[in-house]
């Protein structure tokens, strides 16, 4: 009844609200907790590098227990208030505030929902009523699909948000936002463009992994505000399953990054591109000066030359295309 049709990679508040409708009659908090546990069992997260952090953030951005209003299952007033905050019903939100019945905790829970759903007018009304910037409300700031409205970020900054705030995981808020206009607000307020958390992934590296469109303005924005252009960013741009890898790699090469940088995992970017069976990336790197003969010191391709790595590519057509590129550039280097 509950787990059917669950989207494994996108935990959303709407799913939980729909699940609430299956709870009929008076329900004990213990029963609600059991339902939450069963629902959570249906979730799974693919291991896609830094992008899995983004999916995990969507899952954690609102405390699951809050969805079910475990305090008083039959409190229609609070249910209506939280629903209004989530759906963007300003009139109903204002009516609830005007009753004077809402506590500071209620207001903050409403703020979490309005922020998560990117309703700037509701966010403003809740701040005016006494809601506050806190670890729990900041957790919702990345917004729907991490594309938060700049006006919501502005309201948080106006009410004391530290632009270098961190989530409860220790990861910084800044790279969890993908909307360039929202990111610019934090950067212009003093956010560190090179801030890292426990994962040690810089904002520019996370952006390289998570951007899915051809628009690379977010990368330019970080660089404008002083993000460090380290050569190892090439490995973020061409990691397996990263979209727009060619575009991102060319962007970094155009910025002057060294195509012969090494990593403990892959060896060189060329080894990484070959192992990922991406001939277009191989050509980009070779054209930029990548060494077609260097032996890898990375654990995934240890002791192998690019040609030896290419010999292991399964697809015959891709394997021959890569070997041809390597041979062509090796001969050019000998001239």
SS (H, E, C) the chain: CCCCCCCCCCCCHHHHHHHHCCCCCCCCHHHHHHHHHHHHHCCCCCCCCCHHHHHHHHHHCCCHHHHCCCCCCCCHHHHHHHHHHHHCCHHHHHHHHHCCCCCHHHHHHHHHHHHHCCCHHHHHHHHHHCCCCCHHHHCCCCCHHHCCCHHHHHHHHHCCCCCCCECCCCCECHHHCCCHHHHHHHHHCCCCCCCCCCCCCCHHHHHHHHCCCCCCHHHHHHHHCCCCCCCCHHHHHCCCCCCCHHHHHHHHHHCCCCCCCCECCCECHHHHHHHCCCHHHHHHHHHCCCCCCCCCCCCCCCCCCHHHHHCCCCCHHHHHHHHHHHHHHHHHHHC
Q: Which residue has the higher pLDDT, 303 or 5?
A: 303
Can you give the pLDDT at residue 335? Answer: 56
Query: Tokens at residue 322, please?
Result: 């890569």
CATH number at 327 reads 1.25.40.20
Asked whether residue 197 is assigned to any structural domain, the reply reads no
Give pLDDT tens digits for 6-34.
333 333 333 343 333 333 333 444 444 44
Per-residue confidence band for 146, with pLDDT thresholds at 50, 70 and 90 = confident
Asked whether residue 99 is assigned to any structural domain, the reply reads no
Asked whether residue 89 is assigned to any structural domain, the reply reads no
At which residue do the structure tokens 């403990």 appear?
Answer: 264
Asked whether residue 316 is assigned to any structural domain, the reply reads yes
C-alpha of 248 from chain center: 17
Asked whether residue 293 is assigned to any structural domain, the reply reads yes
pLDDT for residue 142 is more than 60: yes
Give pLDDT tens digits for 33-44.
444 443 333 333
Among the listed residues 225, 213, 223, the one whose alpha carbon sits nearest the alpha carbon of residue 185: 225
Query: Tokens at residue 121, please?
Result: 């007018």
At which residue do the structure tokens 């990111």 appear?
Answer: 183
Can you give the pLDDT at residue 326? Answer: 94
Average pLDDT taken over every residue of the chain: 83
Give pLDDT tens digits for 165-181.
999 999 999 999 999 99
> Would you tell me the crossing angle of helices 150-158 and 120-129 to the nearest 10 degrees?
10
Give pLDDT tens digits for 65-114.
444 344 443 489 999 999 999 999 999 999 999 999 999 999 999 999 99
Can you give the pLDDT at residue 29? Answer: 40
Give pLDDT tens digits for 152-163.
999 999 999 999
End-to-end CA distance of the chain: 69
Can you give the pLDDT at residue 332? Answer: 73
Asked whether residue 248 is assigned to any structural domain, the reply reads yes
Domain count, the chain: 1
Give pLDDT tens digits for 209-232.
999 999 999 999 999 999 999 999
Question: Exposed (0-12), middle (13-18) or buried (19+): which is 203, by Cβ within 10 Å?
Answer: buried
Compute the residue count for the chain: 335
Residue 220 and residue 43: Cα distance in Å, rounded?
A: 35
> Would you tell me the crossing angle of helices 76-87 and 13-20 to the nearest 10 degrees?
150
Which residues span the domain enclosing 329? 229-335
C-alpha of 321 from chain center: 34
Can you give the pLDDT at residue 13? Answer: 38
Residue 9 and residue 77: Cα distance in Å, rounded?
A: 32
Q: Which residue has the higher pLDDT, 50 or 87?
A: 87
Does residue 169 contact residue 176 with C-beta atoms inside 8 Å? no
Asked whether residue 322 is assigned to any structural domain, the reply reads yes
Asked whether residue 88 is assigned to any structural domain, the reply reads no
Among the listed residues 65, 140, 77, the one whose alpha carbon sits nearest the alpha carbon of residue 103: 77
315: CB partners within 8 A, 6+ apart = 277
Can you give the pLDDT at residue 329? Answer: 85
């Amino acid at each position: 009844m509950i787990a059917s049709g669950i989207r494994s990679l996108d935990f959303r508040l709407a799913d939980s609200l729909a699940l609430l409708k299956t709870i009929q009659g008076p329900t004990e908090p213990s029963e609600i907790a059991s339902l939450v546990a069963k629902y959570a069992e249906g979730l799974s997260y693919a291991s896609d590098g830094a992008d899995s952090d983004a999916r995990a953030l969507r899952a954690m951005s609102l405390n699951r227990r809050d969805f079910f209003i475990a305090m008083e299952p039959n409190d229609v007033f609070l249910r209506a208030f939280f629903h209004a905050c989530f759906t963007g019903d300003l009139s109903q939100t204002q009516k609830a505030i005007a009753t004077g019945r809402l506590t500071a905790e209620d207001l903050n829970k409403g703020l979490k929902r309005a922020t998560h759903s990117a309703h700037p007018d509701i966010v403003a009304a809740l701040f005016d009523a006494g809601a506050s910037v806190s670890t729990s409300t900041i957790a919702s700031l990345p917004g729907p699909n991490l594309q938060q409205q700049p006006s919501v970020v502005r309201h948080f900054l106006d009410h004391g948000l530290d632009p270098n705030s961190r989530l409860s995981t220790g990861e910084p808020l800044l790279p969890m936002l993908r909307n360039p206009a929202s990111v610019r607000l934090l950067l212009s307020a003093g956010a560190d463009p090179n801030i890292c958390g426990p994962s040690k992934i810089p904002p520019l590296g996370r952006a390289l992994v998570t951007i899915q469109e051809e628009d690379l303005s977010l990368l330019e924005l970080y660089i404008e505000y002083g993000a460090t252009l380290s050569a190892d960013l090439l490995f973020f741009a061409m990691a397996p399953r990263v979209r727009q890898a060619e575009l991102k790699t060319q962007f970094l090469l155009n910025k002057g990054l060294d195509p012969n940088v090494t990593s403990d995992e892959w060896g060189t970017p060329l080894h990484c591109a070959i192992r990922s069976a991406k001939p277009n990336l191989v050509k980009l790197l070779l054209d930029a000066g990548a060494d077609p003969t260097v032996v890898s010191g990375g654990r995934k391709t240890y002791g192998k030359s690019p040609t030896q790595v290419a010999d292991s590519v399964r697809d015959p057509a891709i394997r021959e295309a890569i070997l041809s590129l390597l041979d062509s550039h090796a001969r050019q280097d000998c001239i």
